[in-house]
Every structure is written in structure tokens, then in C-alpha cells.
Chains A and B, each alone.
Chain A
């Protein structure tokens, strides 16, 4: 299509700019609402302890060669014995994380709050945009694009003859929804609640199972060979002193 569409400046003033401004304001509002609803996370002593055990066991694995064999063995037994070792997870006690999630109402509540603060404003704004601004060609991007981008940029307009570089109002809404993250991190600080990608990551890592990392650490500790490093140090100390004296 060679001929240019002329976009009314009223569209710019009444669709393009208000839409962007509203999106920014909603983002800011969402940030503060999320901040308000965030419950104080109380840590469970057991979880803290498990984390610390893992750190300590890792230290033991890394520094095993720096302590005498006797001390190393004592510690290894302390961590790994089958009765009450710190890293030993009794069979059957390893909870299914999914079940754990639902057994803890706080956790479910938290998730619900997060989702609420995300989904409700999104549906509302989408409905609002659909109602008031559907069907506008709101903007034109200054470079040509291939047909593949049509569904991304001209959502809501079912005309195959319009050039792809024209953006419909609904698509403008989507572009704003996903593209404003950089702006939010500027005005709300790095750790803002609207960071959707990060939230997705959190959801992925939700099923984190401490018992798994405990047993992994246990296996790691089992195969550590104790090779005492200190006898070597005597030689090295001699060399150091010889250099110092000589």
C-alpha cells in the first residue's frame, strides 16, 4: 500500500498520550498497592537452619584439607550419619513441595495477593481500553515491518491492507504493558513490584525443595577424600623462611 494514512492529531491527544499516561499511573499504583499488601514474611526456624547447615557443610567440603583427619571424620559423621545426621533426610519425611504449599495457608494467601495485584488491574485496563479505544489506528512506527508483526501491532483491526507499521490502540496498550518496565525501574527504583519477568522466575523457583539440596550436599560430602594439606605447609614455611633469612 503506497498511499499514506493521515492520522488525526486528536487521536494523538485523546488516545495515544492518555493511554500511555494511564498505563504509567496504573503501574505506580500497583507498586504501592503491592507494597501495602505485602505481608511480613516470618521465617521458619527449620528453613533457616537447613540453609545454614548447607552453608556449613559446603564449608567443610571446601576446607576439608585444612583440618586434621580426626576432626574431619567427626564432622562427617555428625552431618552424614543415618540416624540423626544433620544432612540426613529420613525417607518419607521429605515433603512434597506442592503439598507443603497448600498446607500452608499463608503461602497460598501470599500467592493470591500477588496474583490479585497483577491480574485485576490488567483485566480492568484491558476492558477499559477495549471499550473506549478499540479500532483506532493510534500511531505509526517510522520503519517498515514484515507481515509477521501484524498480529502484534494491529491487534483489534481486521484489515489486511493496512501497512504493518501502523499500530492499533489495543496493540499500543500491550506494548505499554510490557515495555514500561525500564521506565518503572527508573521511577520506582530497581526492586519494583511490577517486574513481571522476575515474578515469573519466582514462580518457577517456587517448588524449591530444601531436602533435595540437603541430600545433594550429603552425597557431595560422602565422596570427599580427606587429603591433609598441612604437611605440605611445613615445607612451604621452610621455603618462606629460607627466603626471609637468606
Chain B
């Protein structure tokens, strides 16, 4: 996770570098440290350092790290010529390196030579079966080819060993949602909530999945998670407000007012719709009639 202070520093440096204020190397180091994806910027500024012989030799051993960084960024930007040059320079320096092997496999992948890349990755995995990056690359590759079942299979295999990897769980959850496998997605989101109980986005996504699954029990659950999202965001999340309304209506329809919890839930729902109205009034007053109509429709539904 990128902290607020680091993010501010990153923004400041980015601004400075973009306006020609120098500090490109510091910026690139920070990008690398925070693992953020700024491929276009990294590509531009990194390449200008690499092309400047004096600056490049000033880096010492760090020069090769920069080569690697620029190579990955170039592949992300589809500037394959540059990536190829970088990899070639690295290969010349480190003829035996596995890390460069990884880059070469990624290069094949970037070119779209799936079979070759696959072969390269599997031979790298044979040497080191616990290389997380390669496992993830293979998942990404399967996903790239639209082969979701393989991607899921690989992710599951990966998670069997690295089961505390949140990013992988999140990726898996998103793939499941895109394939409409909501039960499985719900499990993944539960796992994410467990690992970081105070991130409202996970609560929201879990609630969405539960609502989509349907059924009285799931609606009630979804509503609770929408409520927790509201609590964690301080009521600023529009989607959660809508979610409360939708869930309340759905529960109302299913129980037909038999449930005694209804009284309380009505309170929350009316509060949520009022909050929505207020928010719309403040930010997008021209959409207000639309919102009013939507809310009315929801309530009027049989």
C-alpha cells in the first residue's frame, strides 16, 4: 500500500520532473520502491538518463537496475525496440542471470509469442519453482489470451502455496466476478476482508457480490456490508448508499413487512436516500430529477 505521505512525495517529484526541474533518478527510485505503475513517465525519463552517457555512468551499479526498470516500462508501452536494446545490454553484462531470463520471457510475451513465452517461463520455473513473479506472469498471460479457466487454475495453484498474497486473491475475485461465479468471488472477498478489515472497498465489493447472488439471507448480509462501507467511508460512497436502498427494497419485497427488523431498516434506507439527495444537490443538481424518479420507482415497485 502506498501511504499518503509517500504519494504526496511522488506527486511532487513527478511534477518537478515533468517540468524539467531535475531529480529524475530520485523519481524513478521512488516509483520502483512504491511499485507504482507509471510506465510512460518511467520510460521517458529513464530513457533520457540512459541515453546521457555522463548521467548513466554516474549511477554506478544502479545503472543496471535502471536498465531493467526501463525495459519493463518499455514493454508496458509497447516500445519493443527499446526494451530489446535494454535487455541486450543487460544480457551482455550478466550472461548467466535468471532475472534477465525473466525479462526475455516477458519480452516474448509482449511480442505476443505466447507459446515461446510459455516455454521460457516454464523452464525458469523448473529452476526456481517458487518464483512468485513468474507465477503471476503466467496467470496474466492466460488472462491476456482470454483463457480464464487456465488463469483461475494457475491462480488457485499459486494461492495454494502463497495463500497470504492479497493481490492474488483480489485478482482471483475479479476474474470470478467477470465470469459470474459469484459464490467463489464471495469467498475471495471474505479472504480480503479478513486480511484488511478496514478497507471499505473490499466491504463494498463483497456486498455487491452478495446482492448479485440474491436471496433473503444474502440481501440482509449485503445490506450489512453496505452499512459497514458507509461507516468506513463516512457516508461518502454513493454506491454504498444506493446499495442500502436496493437491499432494503429487496428485503421488503421478500418479507412483505413480516419481519420486525423492517422498522429499523426503513430508518437506514430513508437516511441513505436523503443522503443521496443531498449529495446530488451539492454535486450534480441537474441530475436530481433523475435520482428522485429512480428512488420513487424503487419504492413503487410491487
A126 to B234, CA, bound (A): 69
* Docked CA distance A90–B199 (Å): 37
What residues of A have a CB within 8 angstroms of the CB of B227 in the complex? 230, 233-234, 236-238
In Å, the complex CA distance between A245 and B227 comes to 16
* Other-chain residue from B165, B197, B267 in contact with A66 (beta carbon distance below 8 A): B197
B256 to chain A, nearest CB (A): 21
Which of A59, A237, A240 contacts B164 (CB under 8 A)? A59
With A45-B129, A52-B162, A234-B268 in contact, do A240 and B231 touch (Cβ < 8 Å)?
A: yes
B-side interface mostly? helix
B contact residues around A231 at 8 Å (CB): 224
Q: Which residues of A contact B55 (CB under 8 A)?
A: none
Residue of B nearest to A60 (CB): B194
Residues B163 and A241 in contact, CB atoms below 8 Å apart:
no
Interface string of B250-280 (1 = CB under 8 A from A): 0000000000000010011001101100100
Given contacts A237-B227, A238-B268, A238-B271, 20 further A-B contacts (CB under 8 A): A42-B128, A48-B130, A48-B162, A49-B160, A49-B163, A52-B163, A59-B194, A63-B193, A64-B194, A71-B187, A230-B228, A233-B228, A234-B223, A234-B268, A237-B235, A241-B272, A244-B275, A244-B278, A245-B271, A245-B275
B221 interfacial by beta-carbon distance below 8 Å = yes
Residues on the B chain within 8 Å of A243, using CB: 235
Closest chain-B Cβ to A76's Cβ sits at a distance in Å of 12
Tell whether, in the assembled complex, residue B194 and residue A49 are in contact, meaning their CB atoms are under 8 Å apart: no
Contact with A along B52-70 (1 / 0, CB 8 A): 0000000000000000000
Cβ-defined partner of B194 (8 Å) among A42, A63, A237, A245: A63
Q: Considering the chains assembled together, what is the distance between the CA atoms of A49 and B193 in angstroms?
A: 21
A242 interface residue per 8 A CB criterion: yes
Q: Please, how many angstroms separate the alpha-carbon atoms of A230 and B128 in the complex?
A: 43
Q: Does B174 contact A (CB under 8 A)?
A: no
**Which residues of B are at the interface with A, using a C-beta cutoff of 8 A?**
128-130, 160-165, 187, 190-191, 193-195, 197, 221, 223-225, 227-228, 230-231, 234-235, 244, 264, 267-268, 271-272, 274-275, 278
Q: Is A238 touching B161 in the complex (CB atoms < 8 A)?
A: no
Q: Does A68 contact B (CB under 8 A)?
A: yes
C-alpha spacing A60/B264, complex, angstroms: 30
Given the complex, which residues of A lie within 8 Å of B162, measured CB to CB? 48, 52
Q: Name A's B-contacting residues (CB within 8 A).
A: 42-43, 45, 48-49, 52-53, 55-56, 59-60, 62-64, 66-68, 71, 230-231, 233-234, 236-238, 240-245
Chain A residues, Cβ within 8 Å of B274: 241, 245
Tell me the interface secondary structure of chain A in the complex: helix
Q: How many A-B residue pairs have CB under 8 A?
A: 94
Inter-chain contacts of A245 with B (CB < 8 A): 271, 274-275, 278
18 contacts between A and B (CB under 8 A): A45-B129, A49-B160, A52-B161, A55-B164, A56-B164, A59-B195, A63-B197, A71-B190, A230-B227, A231-B224, A233-B228, A234-B227, A237-B230, A238-B268, A238-B271, A241-B230, A241-B274, A244-B235
Tell me the complex Cα distance, A49–B221, Å: 32
* Contact in complex: A68, B278 (CB < 8 Å): no
Give the residue among A48, A49, A53, A240 with the most B Cβ atoms within 10 A. Answer: A240
Shortest beta-carbon distance from B243 to chain A in Å: 11
Q: Name the B residues within 8 Å of A240 (CB-CB).
A: 230-231, 234-235
Closest Cβ–Cβ distance, residue A77 to chain B (whole Å): 14
- Take A230-B225, A241-B275 as given contacts and tell me if A66 and B130 are in contact as well, using a CB distance cutoff of 8 Å: no
Q: Are A237 and B268 in contact, CB atoms less than 8 angstroms apart?
A: yes
Inter-chain CA distance A234–B223, complex, in Å, is 8
- A-B interface, 10 closest residue pairs, ranked by CB to CB distance from nearest: A237-B227, A55-B164, A233-B228, A230-B224, A241-B271, A63-B194, A237-B230, A234-B227, A63-B197, A66-B197
A241 — which chain B residues lie within 8 A by C-beta? Answer: 230, 235, 268, 271-272, 274-275
Q: Chain A contacts of B130 at CB under 8 A?
A: 43, 45, 48
Q: Which A residues touch B223, using CB under 8 A?
A: 234
How far does the Cβ of B183 sit from chain A's closest Cβ, in whole Å? 11
Residue on A nearest B128 in the bound complex, by CB: A42
Q: Is the CB of A233 within 8 A of B231?
A: yes
Contacting residues, chain B, for A66 (C-beta < 8 A): 193-194, 197, 228
A48 touching B161 by the CB < 8 A rule?
Answer: yes
Decide: A67 near B234, CB < 8 A? Known: A48-B161, A52-B162, A230-B224. no
Q: How far is the CA of A236 from the CA of B227 in the complex (A)?
A: 8
Contact B161 A68 (CB under 8 A): no
A63→B193 CA distance, assembly (Å):
8
Bound form: Cα–Cα A234–B240 in Å: 12
Given A53-B163, A59-B195: A68 and B128 within 8 A (CB)? no
A45, A68, A236: most-surrounded residue (chain B CB, <10 A): A68
* Least distance between A44 CB and chain B CB atoms (Å): 9
Docked Cα-Cα span, A237 to B244, in Å, equals 10
CB-defined contacts of A59 to chain B, threshold 8 Å: 164, 194-195
Task: Give Cα A27 to B129, complex, Å.
Answer: 36
